[in-house]
Every structure is written in structure tokens, then in C-alpha cells.
């Protein structure tokens, strides 16, 4: 299994986390590894979209519409962020 995701992948939350809002930022505790994560404001929006399986392309389309960001720039940043979450086991590929 590849340890890196691409724009063609369909992802979803892995589960096993406790998520909360602190002001406008989303924070999370992973029960399995005991680590705390601050996803920030935009990361929290991404996290919410990942409640259901979604393609990276669809995710970037939603974010682009919501935040008026260019698709290529959005995809680059989203892939970087999601690869970090994937390495930590917080998101998983979905079929």
C-alpha cells in the first residue's frame, strides 16, 4: 500500500478521534496514538468534508468555490495537508 495519496484518491476520516472547536479552529485527539492535532480553521473545514468519502478533486472544487482559490494551488495545498493526515492514520482511502 502506497504511503502517499494522489488527486485521484477517494478519502474519508479514519475514525477513532475526538474532535472539538476551540474558537474558529478545529482540534483533535487521536485515541489510538494519543496525539493531539490542531487542524486550524481551513483544516477543520476539510475534516468536515471528509465525514463521507470524497475525491480530492471534489474537495478542491468545494474549497475553491467557498474560498475563491485557484484549483491548482488548492490541490497542491490540500494534497500536502491530507498526506500528513494520511501518514498519521487519520484519513484512509475509500473504495
For residue 77, is pLDDT > 90?
yes
In a domain, 78, yes or no: yes
In a domain, 95, yes or no: no
Q: Which residue has the cell 485515541?
A: 31
Q: For residue 69, what are the CA distances in angstroms to 24, 28, 52?
A: 20, 26, 23
> Quick check: 82 and 11 in contact, CB under 8 A?
yes
> Quick check: 26 and 39 in contact, CB under 8 A?
yes
β-strands 91-93, 10-13 pairing: antiparallel
For residue 1, is pLDDT > 50?
no
pLDDT tens by residue, 14-54: 989 999 999 999 999 999 999 999 999 999 999 999 999 99
Domain span including residue 18: 10-90
CATH code of the domain containing 31: 3.90.930
In a domain, 55, yes or no: yes
What pLDDT was estimated at residue 11?
95
Q: How many domains does the chain have?
A: 1
Grid cell of 23 as nine digits: 474558537
In a domain, 15, yes or no: yes
Length of the chain: 95
In a domain, 2, yes or no: no
Q: What angle do CA 90, 29, 4 make, to 5 degrees?
A: 20
Grid cell of 78 as nine digits: 490540500
Query: What predicted TM-score, i.e. pTM, was given to this entire model?
Result: 0.88
Amino acid at each position: 500500500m502506497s504511503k502517499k495519496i494522489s488527486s485521484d484518491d477517494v478519502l474519508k476520516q479514519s475514525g477513532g478521534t475526538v474532535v472539538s472547536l476551540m474558537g474558529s479552529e478545529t482540534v483533535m485527539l487521536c485515541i489510538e496514538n494519543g496525539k493531539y492535532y490542531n487542524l486550524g480553521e481551513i483544516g477543520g473545514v476539510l475534516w468536515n468534508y471528509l465525514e463521507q468519502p470524497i475525491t480530492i478533486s471534489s474537495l478542491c472544487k468545494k474549497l475553491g468555490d467557498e474560498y475563491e482559490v485557484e484549483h491548482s494551488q488548492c490541490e497542491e495545498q490540500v494534497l500536502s495537508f491530507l498526506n500528513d493526515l494520511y501518514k498519521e492514520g487519520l484519513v484512509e482511502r475509500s473504495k
